Structure 1
Amino acid sequence: MTDTTYKHLMKEGVQGAPLLVTLHGTGGDETQFFAFATQLRPDATILSPRGDVSEHGASRFFRRTGEGVYDMTDLARGTQKLANFVREKAQATGASEVFGLGFSNGANILANVLIEFPDLFDRAALMHPLIPFQPKPAPGLAGRRVLVTAGERDPICPTSLTLALAEYFRAQGATTELSWHNGGHDIRENEIEAMRTLFA
């Protein structure tokens, strides 16, 4: 039987409101964006899983062999598992829409779920994602809303790959916004405001 369980936090929202899934970065956990998400959408059901992979004690959603070098087999496993987990919770709560918010490693797994299961998330915020491969076509993303945020001096996420990912989503027909700040791998106020708009 396929494992679809994560250690997680969940707050029941108003009946028929969206499900908002938060996905932490490497070394974070289910608490990293849980309170923030409840402030973004107080009516929503908030679902925050903890990554099921440990990298020297730091939680992640899939394995890697080095900085920016992904274990593609484990990425596929983690993507399938997360998609199954979110779909189950969305059906159980009767959510009207499914929203996703991910940072760093959480943004990477969320981006890959969008690519592999384009029907699952209606809106997604990808904060500082790194997709170092050419994604396959996903025409099912047409009409979805995607926000990509990034730092111009991010040492982990090259600007060229950020631009390429945003262009990929546009090419699939997703309504795509790209929000930059002049810092590094940190979250700034302009990103928060862009998410408020996205999830309003």
Structure 2
Amino acid sequence: MYRFSETTGQTGGPLVLTFHGTGGSADQFHALASDLVPGAHVISPQGDVSENGAARFFRRTGEGVYDMDDLAQRRAAMRYFVSAAIAQVRPSRVIGLGYSNGANILAAMMLDGSRLFDQAVLLHPLIPWTPPDNPAMAGVRVLITAGRHDPICPAPMTQGLADALAGMGADLDLHWHPGGHEIDRSEIAAIRKALDA
């Protein structure tokens, strides 16, 4: 069972699920989500994998090298958690927002299985494999934000993920900033614009 933060929104309102980056917590984006989507239900799970004391959503064996078996198990567990949250809240739409490791578990859920999210914000994702086509992505609104000089999530891999999602029929928007792995102020503006659309 995940530890998570939860804010109850308006009946019939949207549900926002947030997923923190490595070393973050359930609270990293929780308040921001309430600010970005007023009246929304917000649920923010905390990763249950410890990497030298830093919370993550799945194991890795090196920078950008994932334990794919562990990822498959953790992805399935998170899909169950998200499905249960949707069933309980019965929202008008479901939005996912994740940063770095959180963006990766969010993307992994979206790329495998039936549709869970109507909209997703992936901040600095890294998917180091070629994702197979998933028809469930058709029509899903996705914003990817990234740094042109991100040493953790290289720009060509970010572009590759964007191209793959667009090829699956996702309504894809890609926002670049000139820096690295940090979250730039312009990304927050891009997120607000995407969620207000």
TM-score, structure 2 as length reference = 0.98
Match for residue 98 of structure 1 among 80, 94, 99: 94
Mark the runs of 5 or more structure 1 residues left unpaired by the alignment.
Answer: none
2:26 aligned partner: 30
Q: CA RMSD for the aligned pairs?
A: 0.8
Residue 111 (structure 1) aligns with: 107
Q: Which of residues 93, 108, 119 in structure 2 aligns to 1:123?
A: 119
In structure 1, distance between residues paired with 2:39 and 2:191: 16
Q: Which digits, 9 at most, give the CA deviation of each residue in 1:122-150, with x for residues without a partner?
A: 00000000001011110111111001110
Pair 1:46-2:42 in alignment: yes
Structure 1 residue runs of 4 or more that deviate by more than 2 Å after TM superposition: none
The 1:183/1:118 distance shift into structure 2, 3 A limit, reads: farther
Percent of counterpart pairs with the same letter? 51
* Conservation of the 8 A alpha-carbon contact between 1:149 and 1:178: yes
How many residue pairs end up in the alignment?
Answer: 196
Question: Does structure 2 retain, via aligned residues, the 8 Å contact 1:83–1:117?
Answer: no
Aligned residue in 1 for 2:184:
188
Give the deviation of 1:97 after TM superposition.
1.1
1:55-70 equivalences in 2 (<5 Å):
55-70=51-66
CA distance in 2, matches of 1:60, 1:14: 30
Q: Deviation per CA, 1:7-51, whole angstroms, max 9, x where unpaired? A: 000001101111100000000000100111110012100000000
Describe the SS at the equivalent of 1:124.
strand
Rounded Cα–Cα distance in structure 2 between residues aligned with 1:44 and 1:77: 29
In 2, the alpha carbon distance for the partners of 1:121 and 1:191 equals 20
Tell me the amino acid that sits aligned with residue 189 of structure 1: R
Distance between the aligned counterparts of 1:93 and 1:145, measured in 2? 21
